[in-house]
Amino acid sequence: MRFALTDVTSEPQVQASIETALDFGGSLLGVIHCAGIVTPRRVLDKDGIVHPLDLFAKGIQVNLVGTFNVTRLAAKAMAQNVPHEQGERGVIVNTAFDRSIRWSDRAGLLLASKAGVVG
């Protein structure tokens, strides 16, 4: 087993991690993607301070764009695999949330970004 610290928003880092897996095992058969960040803030707090847009954008970048980045680069590597009996070449599991997550006035970023992953 190998571990590769990776910024999921960085194409070169994700590609390097995939190359590490390929060098170790010869092929990439599966990816489980669980990266995500939370910035629990209200849109407008009791002191009248608005949620910083850059924090929201960073969360979308990691939680949604990062998921897509890992998925697309893993799929490219898996496309090189010989298909098994059912024609599959690998498995990608992306984590998100379902409706059992209770809405909170501080959960906007998490719910918005993970809803994009589900979609």
CA distance linking residue 28 with residue 78, whole number of Å: 6
Radius of gyration of the chain (CA): 17
What pTM was computed for the model? 0.85
Domains defined along the chain, listed by start: 11-118 (3.40.50.720)
Ranges of H-type helices in 11-107: 11-25, 53-60, 66-78
Element holding 32 (H helix, E strand): strand 30-33
Q: What is the pLDDT of residues 27-78, one digit of tens each?
A: 999 999 888 888 888 888 899 999 999 999 999 999 999 999 999 999 999 9
Q: CB–CB of 91/30 below 8 Å? A: yes
